[in-house]
Amino acid sequence: MILVTGATGNVGREIVKELHRAGHQIRVVSRNPAKASFPPDVEVMAGDLTDPAIMKAALDGIQKVFLIRVPGSETFPQIAKQSGVEHIVFLSSSAIEARTENAIGRMHLQTEELIRQSNIQWTFLRPGAFMSNALQWAPAIRSEGVVRAPFGDVRTAPIHPRDIAAVAVKALVSSGHEGKIYTLTGPEVLTPVEQVQTIGEVLGKQITFEEIPETVAREHMKRFAPVDIVDAIFQLMREATNHPATVLPTVEEVTGQAARGFKQWVIDNADAFR
């Protein structure tokens, strides 16, 4: 049986769909499973992964795990080893590979280390920015037809969460992915201004991009995220300004399918912007 953590999230939800379609036995664990709808034969466990009793129950009888980073669940790999888990596919972050050390990279590296130390087989997925981060613009697009953000011309290569899920599923159900680190990007380099243009084209609506100062954006973001994470995000954006992202072929190499473009992601998620 395969345990999918983060199953109500952008990547986990897609992994459950793919594994279910292929007939695998799945268990999910979530603090609030009602956030997503799962097929009837998926075993759903309500619980918080920071609770060791929940980790133990969630891992009982499990051979493989798709793991997301949950602060406060540092004993997870150790408990997984004791439960007989054979392979962990961990959703890490390409922030580890940034030119300058940062909190996001550090936190993901720490989880990678804990997994290595457990002596369970592992595969690490290190994606860059998710296309789904554009959902943060949805309320303002719906109500005012405007996006207010800093770094309008920074060039990143955002990835469709379905492509991360496709790589994760390959690593979970086929062999040869043990001990591999997959750094993942989408298929094109895009600025936020270009992403907003694409959203407008798909919706058939005029959307304006208004560049705001970094200081204003930082104050806003600090209401939702810890200050070291906010600092890391801005540091990564500044770095990308000087060193634009490059497109990597990893998704296609692992899955045999070309990575999906941003336009496809917008089509898949158009209702969120209407």
Binding site for ligand NAP (CB under 6 A): 5-6, 8-12, 29-32, 35, 48-50, 68-70, 91, 93, 127, 129-130, 132-133
Closest distance to ligand NAP from the beta carbon of 86 (Å): 22
Nearer to ligand NAP, 132 or 235 (CB): 132
Which two tokens mark 50? 């920071």
Q: Are 14 and 161 in contact (CB under 8 A)?
A: yes
Closest distance to ligand NAP from the beta carbon of 132 (Å): 6
Q: How far apart are CA 167 and CA 66, in angstroms?
A: 11
Contacts of 37 (CB under 8 A, 6+ apart): none
Nearer to ligand NAP, 48 or 206 (CB): 48
Nearer to ligand NAP, 70 or 146 (CB): 70
Phi, psi for 112 (deg, rounded to 5) = -55, -45
Nearer to ligand NAP, 10 or 118 (CB): 10
Which two tokens mark 223? 């209401």
Query: By beta-carbon distance, which residue lies closest to ligand NAP?
Result: 9
Nearer to ligand NAP, 103 or 203 (CB): 103
Nearer to ligand NAP, 51 or 194 (CB): 51
Nearer to ligand NAP, 33 or 152 (CB): 33
Q: Are 47 and 31 in contact (CB under 8 A)?
A: yes
Closest distance to ligand NAP from the beta carbon of 196 (Å): 17
Closest distance to ligand NAP from the beta carbon of 229 (Å): 10
Closest distance to ligand NAP from the beta carbon of 60 (Å): 16
Closest distance to ligand NAP from the beta carbon of 43 (Å): 15
Q: How far apart are CA 102 and CA 257, in angstroms?
A: 32
Of residues 183, 10, 3, the one with CA closest to residue 87: 3
Three-class secondary structure of residue 190 per DSSP? strand
Which two tokens mark 211? 């560049």
Closest distance to ligand NAP from the beta carbon of 206 (Å): 27
Measured in Å, how far apart are the chain's first and last C-alpha atoms? 39
One-character DSSP codes across 193-219: HHHHHHHHHHHT---EEEE--HHHHHH
Q: Are 160 and 131 in contact (CB under 8 A)?
A: yes
Which two tokens mark 56? 């133990």
Eight-state DSSP code of residue 118:
T
